[in-house]
Amino acid sequence: MTIVIENIPSVSATAGAPAGSTAAAAAATAGPTTRQAQFVLTLSCPEQPGIVRAVTAFLADRGFDIVEHQQFDDHVSGKLYLRTAFTLGSDIHQENGLNHQDVESLSSAFAPIAGEFAMDFTINDGRPQRLLVMVSKFGHCLNDLIFRWQAGSLGAEIAVVVSNHEDLRPMAEAAGLPFIHVPVTSATKPEAEARLLELVAEYNADLVVLARYMQVLSNDLCESLRGRAINIHHSFLPGFKGAKPYHQAYDRGVKLVGATAHYVTADLDEGPIIEQEVFRVDHSLDADALVTVGRDAETQALARAVKWHCQHRVLLNNTRTVVFR
């Protein structure tokens, strides 16, 4: 049994987005809203009867209201994956030693059930997750993340932008974000990666987002960031890896262009896939046009992956993921 205490973000409009603005409109059209959950329980365990009943009874007996529940029974692995969002009800049932506002207290109370069913679980509270966004010279993904953050539809807070180049400093600083230049060469890469980990700690970053960051991370750094770093790959994996993937796609006459958002691992561009986006194309588009279409795919796939991760909708299933959209 593994217990991990994390936090789930709340989605709120950002100050500075006036009514009638494009950002405000995006927030208003971000999708249907549900009652705000104060906590989210996620778990995986061997499938057997009684799991859902035990979870819902635990919450109901303590006066919690379930506002969202999703589950997936993987018949291949024989495991159950579950996500339950819940909030304090109007009739709280007091229990000796239980603090209904504290995830550690809730986790301790839930631990006997987790032990009975051999669960790996997390209980997350309402603090928005903080992002450290890494970029190089391409700004479309950063620009999109900033827009969604300002519109209140990203589901997280951008804490800082880190880059190995100065090109995107104006974009970050125009949004009021700290921009930190950490140059990288083959000789200085260990020092640069050590500095990155310092910044993760300094800015209390929960998630590192590689928004077209054009440097390969070392195995040690990938291991340090396991499960808390997302990369956007400018290709519909597993095809067209390496340099100029859209030009490779053009040369092959593809009819689909896409992008892949995945967790970072030591195996380059081989991490568990969270989201993929594709657009249909035809012979009339040259390589430059495919790049433009591909950038749209990149921004959409990355934004969804970041939001779902920050809402604790992504559960690892070996080399794959279960995503409760």
CATH number at residue 169: 3.40.50.170
Residue 29 lies in a domain: no
Residue 5 lies in a domain: no
Confidence (pLDDT) at 98: 67
Residues 114 and 134 placed together within one structural domain of the fold: no
- In terms of Cβ atoms closer than 10 Å to its own Cβ (0-12, 13-18, 19+), residue 42 is buried
Confidence (pLDDT) at 21: 39
Residue 76 lies in a domain: yes
Give, in order, the Cα–Cα distances in Å from 234 to each of 138, 141, 201, 273. Answer: 11, 11, 28, 13
In DSSP terms, which residues pair with 205 in a beta bridge? none
Q: Is 269 a catalytic residue?
A: yes
Residues 232 and 210 placed together within one structural domain of the fold: yes
Residues 121 and 260 placed together within one structural domain of the fold: no
**Strand-pair category, 79-88 with 273-280:** unpaired
Residue 312 lies in a domain: yes
Out of 94, 125, 156, a domain closes at 125
Give me the catalytic one of 269, 282, 288, 296: 269
Residues 183 and 252 placed together within one structural domain of the fold: yes
**Residue 172 structure tokens:** 């970050």
Residues 114 and 159 placed together within one structural domain of the fold: no
The H or E element that residue 233 is part of is strand 229-233
Confidence (pLDDT) at 242: 67
Q: In 3D, which of 137, 138, 149, 132 has the Cα closest to residue 298? A: 138
Residues 49 and 119 placed together within one structural domain of the fold: yes
Q: In 3D, which of 85, 91, 97 has the Cα closest to residue 125? A: 85
Residues 120 and 162 placed together within one structural domain of the fold: no
Residues 172 and 250 placed together within one structural domain of the fold: yes
Residues 75 and 217 placed together within one structural domain of the fold: no
Q: What domain range includes position 95?
A: 34-125
Residue 303 lies in a domain: yes
Out of 125, 145, 169, a domain closes at 125
- In terms of Cβ atoms closer than 10 Å to its own Cβ (0-12, 13-18, 19+), residue 165 is middle
Residue 248 lies in a domain: yes
Taken in order 20, 22, 24, 26, is the CA torsion positive or negative? positive
Number of H helices, E strands in the chain: 9, 14
Residue 18 lies in a domain: no
Q: In 3D, which of 214, 287, 290 has the Cα closest to residue 258? A: 290
Q: How far apart are CA 226 and CA 220, in angstroms?
A: 10
HEC letters along 92-103: CCCCCCCCCCCH
Residues 120 and 157 placed together within one structural domain of the fold: no
The structural domain count of the chain equals: 2
**Residue 278 structure tokens:** 């594709």
Residue 6 lies in a domain: no
Residues 120 and 209 placed together within one structural domain of the fold: no
Q: What CATH number is attached to the domain comprising 73? A: 3.30.70.260
Confidence (pLDDT) at 127: 86
Q: What is the pTM of this model?
A: 0.84
Out of 103, 125, 147, a domain closes at 125
- Three-class secondary structure of residue 46 per DSSP: strand
Confidence (pLDDT) at 2: 45
Per-residue pLDDT of the chain (325 residues; tens, 9 = 90+): 444 444 444 333 333 343 333 344 344 334 444 567 789 999 999 999 999 999 999 999 999 999 999 999 999 999 999 999 999 886 665 565 566 678 999 999 999 999 999 999 999 987 899 999 999 999 999 999 999 999 999 999 999 999 999 999 999 999 999 999 999 999 999 999 999 999 999 999 999 999 999 999 999 999 999 999 999 998 764 566 666 777 887 888 888 888 999 999 998 888 999 999 999 999 999 989 999 999 999 999 999 999 999 999 999 998 999 999 9
Residues 185 and 306 placed together within one structural domain of the fold: yes
Confidence (pLDDT) at 14: 37
Confidence (pLDDT) at 162: 99
DSSP 8-class letter at 266: S
